[in-house]
Amino acid sequence: MPALTAPESLHPSPELRAAWCQIRRSSSELIHRIAVVTVAITVAVALSPWLIFRACWGRFKSGSWLTSEVVLGRHGRALRRLRFSGPMPGAGLASLWHVATGDYEWIGPRAVRHRDLTELSTSELVRLEVAPGLVSLGAIRQKMGLAHDGVAALEHSMAYKVQSLDLGMMARAVLATCLGSRTSGDDTVCLFGVDIDDRTMASAVDELVDAALHGRPQRVAFVNPDCLNKAYVDDAYRSALCGADRVYADGIGIRLAAGWRGQGLRDNVNGTDLFPRLCERAAQEGLSMYLLGARPGVAERAATTMVERYPGLQIVGTRDGYFGDDEEADVRQTIRTSGADIVLVAFGAPRQELWIEEHHAELGASVALGVGGLFDFYSGRIERAPQAWRDLGLEWLFRLTREPGRLWRRYVIGNPLFVVRTVLRADRRLNTPRGER
């Protein structure tokens, strides 16, 4: 029997198919627009008491309800962006109007001011193809201290992927607005008697590279709420932190605690995000590293990963962190003869900070950092929280789901304890302040 084929006339012509695609695209754009506008109107109605109060307050303080500025909208079209007057938070909420009129999306790149147009590079001009967003990924990460490579780079790499009514992104934006804090301008924040250095990620990396290049001894620690809880009851550990040359703020807990004391932090300078940046710079500057700690084979796998990622990086030795007292001297001697400029010690807190305090001078390396579970992440032994969890300040929760048996005390008991101690300002002091040591 001959095979059945559809008559020629039943196959749609290319023109018909193109027209059908166009109809589908237009209708999905229309549905998207209706959804965006409906949500904008709903939010505006829900927030109307606040919006009215905000507008009146601006008028009372500065004599005008709104201010406006020319920005570039979709396809580079100029439009007047509205903001409520006055310095009170919420000025940008006036842009809800632009979402309702279709000039803005909910999520998208920051609007480019007309007068900044000349500062955009040719590749950045692509960003003008899409509508600006009321919420931008760059602004979220900046508020959470996670815009480590600069807002412009983030806007450029991410903004186009999230051009939609993305509820997860909107939740992140709300959270970042509530949790994010403005920087106070001070260079240190004191929590539980420990002075924490307030740095951007870039300036922290610069400091470490500079110290290594000039052979300046630098003991470095990263502190999170668990570290401060430990330091609260452990005088030796607190003393090691107070004696360190740099103590960086690791994670959302420290950010919140500093914010509650009226001192915003510039960045979340955690070891896990700092490590690749340090490796990149070390490779460029010809600085060598030694990785000490974690289970057998883990530091070695982390080293292989980083050397592949940053060609030219010199990792001059690795060793696990489960050696006996009888091997101590040999470990130190091996590091010394390796000639490493920077040594990363991953024994977990407080052991790593105490070990560095005791032995730094014998290691020959200018910079020594205590880095916790860092090698576990870069070796692939433990999965790191996805970026969305980190943007929400929930990296700790992700870790808890991965290792509940080991970490439940640290987070389930430790986090509330940290909050109570912070709120009660239950600081512990050493007799000698850091500057005098």
| Interface positions with ligand UDP (CB under 6 A) | 293-295, 321-322, 346-349, 372-373, 375-376
Closer of 25 and 402 to ligand UDP (Cβ): 402
Q: Which is nearer to ligand UDP, 286 or 297 (CB)?
A: 297
181 or 318: whose CB is closer to ligand UDP? 318
Choice between 72 and 221, CB closer to ligand UDP? 221
Min dist. Cβ of residue 373 to ligand UDP (A): 3
Q: Is 105 or 250 the residue whose CB approaches ligand UDP more closely? A: 250
The CB-of-410 to ligand UDP minimum distance in angstroms stands at 8
> Residue 413, class by beta-carbon neighbours within 10 Å (0-12 exposed, 13-18 middle, 19+ buried)?
exposed
**213: Cα within 13 Å, side-chain hemisphere:** 13
Closest separation between CB of residue 367 and ligand UDP, Å?
19
Residue 396, CA distances (Å) to 211, 226, 253, 271, 414 in order? 31, 10, 10, 14, 11
- Contacting residues for 227 by C-beta, under 8 A, at least 6 apart: 221, 241, 250, 349, 350
User: Is the Cβ of residue 133 or residue 373 nearer to ligand UDP in the bound state?
Assistant: 373
- Least gap, CB of 148 to ligand UDP (angstroms): 18
User: Residue with CB nearest ligand UDP?
Assistant: 321
Please, what is the minimum distance in Å from the beta carbon of residue 434 to ligand UDP? 22
CA pair distance 259, 82, nearest whole angstrom: 29
Nearest CB to ligand UDP, comparing residues 86 and 372: 372
Peptide bond into 12 cis (omega under 30): no
* Rounded Cα–Cα distance for residues 125 and 223 (Å): 40
Nearest distance from residue 427's CB to ligand UDP, in Å?
22
Cβ 293 to ligand UDP shortest distance, Å: 4
Q: Which two tokens stand for residue 58?
A: 């601006």
Can you tell me whether residue 229 is helix, strand or coil? helix
Q: What is the C-alpha separation between 195 and 117, in angstroms, rounded?
A: 41
Write the single-letter amino acid at 16: L
DSSP letters, 233-271, are H-HHHHHHHHHSSEEEE-SHHHHHHHHHTT-B-S----H
Comparison of 85 and 272: residue with beta carbon closer to ligand UDP: 272
Residues 6+ apart with CB under 8 A from 385: 394, 395, 398, 399
Q: How far is the CB of 407 from ligand UDP (least distance, A)?
A: 8
